[in-house]
Chains A and B, each alone.
Chain A
Amino acid sequence: MKYGWHAAAFAVLLTIANVVFYVGSRGGASTGQPSVTRVAEPDEVIGQELMMALAQAKNFHHKAKVYMTDGNLAEATTAVRQILSLRFPPNTPEADDVRNDARALLAKLLISQNQLEEAMRTVDEGIAQSPRESFFVANLYTVQGEIHEARALALDTGGEQAKAAEERRSAITSYDKSIKINEVLQKKLMGGK
C-alpha cells in the first residue's frame, strides 16, 4: 500500500514532466517564425498530381504533333485545347507555364487556319490570367505580335492600308513587350535586379 502511493506519485510527476516537455517542444516548433531550414510544405513539393497533369499535357502535345504531321490541323487544335482543361494542383507555377505554352501553340494553329480573332482571344486570355511574368508570357506576346502581323497582311489584301499600319504598330508593341519581359527575367536569373 505504501509503495503503491509512492509509485502513483512518481508516475504522476513523470506524466507532468512529459506533458510540459511535449508542450514546450511543440511551442518551439510553431513559433510562427519561418525556419531557415524549413522543409517545403506538401503543397509546395512536386507531387503525384502535378506529375500526372504534366504527363497528360505531354501526351496531348505529342498527339497534336502527330496530327500536325498529318496536316490535320483541326484535330491538332482539339488536342491542344484539351491541355487547357487539365486539372493541375493549385498554385503550381508549372501549371501557368504549361497552359501559356499550350495557348501559344493553339494560337499559332488558329493563325494557320486563318482564325485570327479566336487566336487573339486565346492569347489575350493567357496574358490576362497569368499571375506573373515569365518566358512563356513573353512568348504569348510574341505570338500576339504575329497575330497583329497576320491581321495587317489581311487588311493590306483588303485595301485597308491605314488599319494595316495600325496592326503593324501593335505588332511592334507586342514584340517590344516580349523583349522587355525576357530581358528582365534574364537579368533576374543571372542574379541582377
Chain B
Amino acid sequence: MANDDDILTSPVPEPDAEATAAERAHAKTFADLVDKTLSGRTPPAMSADDRALLEVATVIRAASGNVPLAPGKQRSIVEDALRQAIGGPSTSMPSGVTPIASRRRWLPWTVAAGSSLVAAAALAMLWLRAPERAPMAAAAAPATWKSRPADPLIGPIAREHAGDASSRIDYIFADRMDGYRDRRLSRGGKR
C-alpha cells in the first residue's frame, strides 16, 4: 500500500502521456472497488487514499442524480412521511408503531369483520322477533285471555241476589284464572 501515497503525491502526468502498467493496475483495482461500493458490497478495510477517492466518486455520482435508494430505506421514508401526515409519531419513536403496510393488510379484513358483525346482529334480531310474529299471524288472542267485562259470565242480577257478591266474585275469579293459566301455559303467553 506504500505505492498509494506515491500516486497522490507524485507529479501529475501529462494529459497525452501513456499510462504506465502500474497506473493501469491501480485504476482497475479502484474501478472494482467503486463497483463493489455501488452494489452495496463495500470492503470493510481499504487504504486512506482509496477511501478518499471513493468518497469523491460517490459524491460525483450522487451529484449527477439517478441514485436509487435501497428498498428498505425507501419504505421507511414513505412510511415516516405518511405517519406524520396522519399525526402519528415519526420514526424517531419506532417502538409501538404499527407499520402502515401491516395496517393496509388488515384494514379490509377489519372492515369485513365489522360489517359482518352488523349483518349478523341484524339477522339475529330478525330471528329473535320471529317467535313473536308467528302467533300473531296464526290467530288472535282468545277472548278468555283478555281482561273484559264480567256481564256475560254473571248475567242480570236478580233483586233477591243483589247482595250475593261473594258467590259472584268466586265465579269471576275462577273464570279469569282459567284464562290466565291458559295464556301462561301456551306459547302465546310468553309476552
Q: Which residues of A contact B (CB under 8 A)?
A: 1, 4-5, 7-8, 10-12, 14-15, 17-19, 21-22, 25, 29, 35-40, 42, 44-48, 50-51, 54-55, 57-58, 61-62, 64-65, 80, 89, 91-94, 96-98, 101-102, 104-105, 108-109, 132, 134-136, 138-139, 142-143, 146, 182, 185-186, 189
User: Which residue from B125, B136, B173 sits with its C-beta under 8 Å from A55?
Assistant: B173
B108 and A138 contacting across the interface, CB-CB below 8 Å: no
User: Which residue from A10, A98, A142, A182 sits with its C-beta under 8 Å from B162?
Assistant: A142
Q: Which residues of B contact A58 (CB under 8 A)?
A: 169-170, 173
A12 and B111 contacting across the interface, CB-CB below 8 Å: yes
Most buried by A among B118, B157, B165: B165
A1 to B109, CA, bound (A): 9
A11 to B113, CA, bound (A): 8
User: How many chain-B residues does the 8 Å CB contact rule pick out?
Assistant: 54
A57 to B170, CA, bound (A): 9
A1-B104, A185-B156 known; A46-B169 Cβ under 8 A = no
**Would you call B14 an interface residue if the criterion is a C-beta within 8 Å of the partner chain's C-beta atoms?**
no
Q: Which residues of A contact B156 (CB under 8 A)?
A: 135, 138, 182, 185-186
**Would you call B119 an interface residue if the criterion is a C-beta within 8 Å of the partner chain's C-beta atoms?**
yes
User: Which residue from A51, A64, A96, A142 sits with its C-beta under 8 Å from B177?
Assistant: A51
A44 and B166 contacting across the interface, CB-CB below 8 Å: no
Closest to A19 in B: B122
**Would you call B22 an interface residue if the criterion is a C-beta within 8 Å of the partner chain's C-beta atoms?**
no
B147 and A39 contacting across the interface, CB-CB below 8 Å: no
User: Which residue from A1, A19, A101, A143 sits with its C-beta under 8 Å from B169?
Assistant: A101
B159 and A142 contacting across the interface, CB-CB below 8 Å: yes
